Amino acid sequence: MNGAQSLLQALRRAGVEVCFANPGTSEMHFVAALDAVPGLRSVLGLAEGVVTGAADGYGRMTDKPACTLLHLGPGLANGLSNLHNARRAQSPIVNIVGDHATYHRQLDAPLTSDIEGAARPFCDWVRTAASADALAGDALAAVAASLSPPGQVATLILPANAAWDTVRNDQPPRTSEIAPLAAERPPDASIEAAVRIMKSGEPTALILGGRATRESALWVLGKIAKATGAKLFAQTFNSRISRGAGRVPVERIPYAVDQALAALRPYRNIILIGAKAPVAFFAYPNKPSRLWPPGVRIHELVRVDGDIAYTLSALADAVGAASTVPEVARLDLPTPPSGDLTPDNLSPLIAAMLPANAIVIDESITTGRTFMAATETAHPHEWILPTGGSIGFGLPVAVGAAIACPDRKVIALESDGSGLYMPQALWSMARESLDVLTIVFANRKYQILRMEMKNVGVAQVGPQASALLDLDRPAVDWVGLAKGFGVDAYRAGTMEELARQVEVGLHMKGPCLIEAVLA
């Protein structure tokens, strides 16, 4: 047995079932071993950002890691943008990054680079395998690291000779390395302080992140909110929020600074549950970076890597809410409007047509600012957001979510500018026959950058600057692009056309794309 086979066997023993891959020469023994070690599904991505984004989507929906296979430092570098998002989403991922053979590395061949140095800012755990004998233990340690709270990105660098060498003396891993860390419970004093705050009579907001926005946690939080009068807010960007009819509604803190300040202005206390204190996405001239009013008390009840389930149960008991029945959203579907394709018209259409149990991947950026409010009373669903702000997450994450949950419809709400960062994901959808409906909102511009120009105080946008913010001359043909990747595609120019095409896409099995050309 060679090292690559030993590595794959260890990954399978640890429960890894999927490998998203874009391999090269140094990974050929790993690729060959996929046929020798059964049970690991391999999925090819045409670009490394598709690979890492798919692993992110898979991790968000299963809470367990897929592995990626990347080619040397440049391959890792191509995938780092979506690893940034994955790390911010606390997604468990195990990256396998091939490297030159150890004796070849010193020769400074063209693809030689500092892979560990490139990985560390975007990964929680990094290790270079020392030999074929050590690979099984390294793999188990990487999986354990990825599963440690709140979910981590682990990267194992695989020298080519460690992959092809014969395993002669399999080195057992240290027990301390292969058991995921346990989530820590907050001290009783922290829970008691939260109770005092909520019983003070002062307006209190609970800001939620991590797994506090999942259905079971929101149910307990709904009890707490009803018993105490506290207001539930989600961070602006969360990895996954359970929403819709029958779920406890939670308001998302707005992205825009002025709107966020207005939303939080009434509160004298903020309690953080798996969240950080809210800050602006960027600094702006003459605007605050902190989004809470002066004098507000901030209490961190439990960190994102803490035991959120225990904390909420203890808090509910302490405020006398254990038997309280929370308020939940009631099913209330709007009538889809007709006429022009505008953001305001799109919101009720999406709310009306969203199927039960759907997984929504939202990279709609400016077009979708009202989508979440409009879908609060839609059929129950999961909503996934770009936690790290790195563009091009939507289509790859949809790939991973569809592979994780083949029995659920995945709907990717994608802006045209962001979608052009990783359109290769469409090919993976077609090749794997994934049940993904993608709606591309085509306004032919980087609208968010036009808005940001105003936010930073630029009143006039000249022709040179405007040329960097527009996506026309030529306009991208999304229907032709999708069909070229093997995905059925349609174009809509009115609300009536879009409604008909969405209905067709929802009833299809397999990938479908609709280009919604905005008025």
Question: What is the CA 97 to chain-centroid distance, rounded?
Answer: 21
pLDDT value for 519:
86
174 versus 359: the higher-pLDDT residue is 359
For the chain, the structural domain boundaries read: 3-177, 195-318, 343-517
Residue 419 near residue 425 (C-beta atoms within 8 A): no
**Which pLDDT band holds residue 22 (cuts at 50, 70, 90)?**
very high
Q: What is the pLDDT of residues 331-345, one digit of tens each?
A: 999 999 999 999 999
**Which pLDDT band holds residue 465 (cuts at 50, 70, 90)?**
confident
Answer positive or negative: Cα dihedral of 169, 171, 172, 178.
negative
Answer positive or negative: Cα dihedral of 160, 161, 166, 169.
negative
Q: What is the pLDDT of residues 130-178, one digit of tens each?
A: 999 999 999 999 999 999 999 999 999 999 999 999 999 877 777 778 8
Pick the CATH number of 195-318 from 3.30.360.10, 3.40.1410.10, 3.40.50.300, 3.40.50.1220: 3.40.50.1220
Q: Are strands 297-302 and 269-273 parallel, antiparallel or unpaired?
A: parallel
| CATH of segment(s) 343-517 | 3.40.50.970
Least confident of 239-253, 343-357, 376-390, 450-464: 450-464
- Helix extents (H) in 71-159: 72-88, 102-105, 115-119, 135-147
DSSP state of 249: P
pLDDT value for 102:
96
| CATH of segment(s) 3-177 | 3.40.50.970
Domains 3-177 and 343-517 equal at CATH topology level: yes
Strand partners for 361: 384, 412
Please choose, from the candidates 152, 201, 199, 145, the residue with its C-alpha nearest in 3D space to the C-alpha of residue 177: 145
The tokens 């939507």 sit on which residue?
394
Residue 244 near residue 383 (C-beta atoms within 8 A): no
**Which pLDDT band holds residue 30 (cuts at 50, 70, 90)?**
very high
pLDDT value for 455:
81
Mean pLDDT, range 35-56, rounded to an integer:
97
**Which pLDDT band holds residue 212 (cuts at 50, 70, 90)?**
very high
pLDDT at 192 over 80: yes
Residue 276 near residue 213 (C-beta atoms within 8 A): no
Q: What is the pLDDT of residues 493-511, one digit of tens each?
A: 999 999 999 999 999 999 9
Using alpha carbons, list the distances in angstroms from residue 516 to 43, 399, 441, 450, 494: 29, 21, 5, 20, 8
What pTM does this model have? Answer: 0.95
Q: d(Cα 31, Cα 23) in Å, to the nearest integer?
A: 8
